[in-house]
Amino acid sequence: MIRFDSVTKTYPDGTVAVGGLDMVAPTGKITVLVGPSGCGKTTSLRMINRMIEPTAGRIWADDRDTATMDAAELRRGIGYVIQHAGLFPHRTIAANIATVPLLLGWDKKKARARSLELLERVGLPLSFANRYPSQLSGGQQQRVGVARALAADPPVMLMDEPFSAVDPVVREQLQDEFLRLQSELGKTIIFVTHDIDEAIKLGDQIAVLRVGGKLAQLSDPAHLLAH
């Protein structure tokens, strides 16, 4: 469980990106943060893994105050997927996927085997292992991004518009396969999108934010539809 307790982020120029956010992302569920550009979605997400520090309030990971945790330790338990995958261009696909396992000191053989297993899991052929990111389509790169985030099997996944930059047909495939994968893995997921249809399709719970980083509504997809 990830819990926001009166979390505020004011940037040095005075912009209040997140204004007193209270929210719980339950264990094993997909919580979607949705809302217009600038409403504080990315800021909220990045405060969870302490890429951004809150100005006030606390974020809890189960019963631990994340502010008191070692940031590297915290991040070991949190996979992170961004819009344009962010793969290392000079590393092979297998090496990209193995990034965190290798940082954690796994031996190379085990990390390689894990990379191949994950390639399969995200629906890519094993023959991609030795390719470079530029040799993959945008949708394929996003799959690798998901595989990389899953490599060390973190309980929590942060996903920032992971499917927004690909064309609608590929986006739908990625969404469907993501739901299938999640039904097997049961991660605690916080998923950011500006697309309300995507939020309804993917979310077990939907947090609608408005500009100023306040919660406008927290509901399940059925109730959001009724509005």
Beta carbon nearer to ligand ADP, 75 or 226: 75
In the complex, the smallest distance separating the C-beta of residue 169 from ligand ADP, rounded to whole angstroms, is 25
At 40 the three-state DSSP class reads coil
Beta carbon nearer to ligand ADP, 105 or 127: 105
Beta carbon nearer to ligand ADP, 10 or 173: 10
Beta carbon nearer to ligand ADP, 41 or 187: 41
In the complex, the smallest distance separating the C-beta of residue 221 from ligand ADP, rounded to whole angstroms, is 20
Match 């994950």 to its residue by tokens. 118
Beta carbon nearer to ligand ADP, 13 or 184: 13
At 63 the three-state DSSP class reads coil
Residue 212 CA to residue 38 CA, distance in Å, equals: 8
Residue 227 CA to residue 224 CA, distance in Å, equals: 5
Q: Smallest Cα–Cα separation from 82: which of 151, 30, 142, 153? A: 142
Beta carbon nearer to ligand ADP, 17 or 94: 17
Cβ neighbours for 77, distance < 8 A, ≥ 6 positions apart: 61, 154, 155, 156
Q: Which residues bind ligand ADP (CB under 6 A)?
A: 11, 13, 15, 17, 37-43, 75-76, 80, 88, 99-100, 103
Cβ neighbours for 172, distance < 8 A, ≥ 6 positions apart: none
In the complex, the smallest distance separating the C-beta of residue 61 from ligand ADP, rounded to whole angstroms, is 14
In the complex, the smallest distance separating the C-beta of residue 55 from ligand ADP, rounded to whole angstroms, is 12
Residue 41 CA to residue 39 CA, distance in Å, equals: 6
In the complex, the smallest distance separating the C-beta of residue 85 from ligand ADP, rounded to whole angstroms, is 11
Six-digit token string for 48: 């969870």
In the complex, the smallest distance separating the C-beta of residue 227 from ligand ADP, rounded to whole angstroms, is 20
At 68 the three-state DSSP class reads helix
Query: Cα angle vertex 84, ends 123, 26, to 5°?
Result: 70
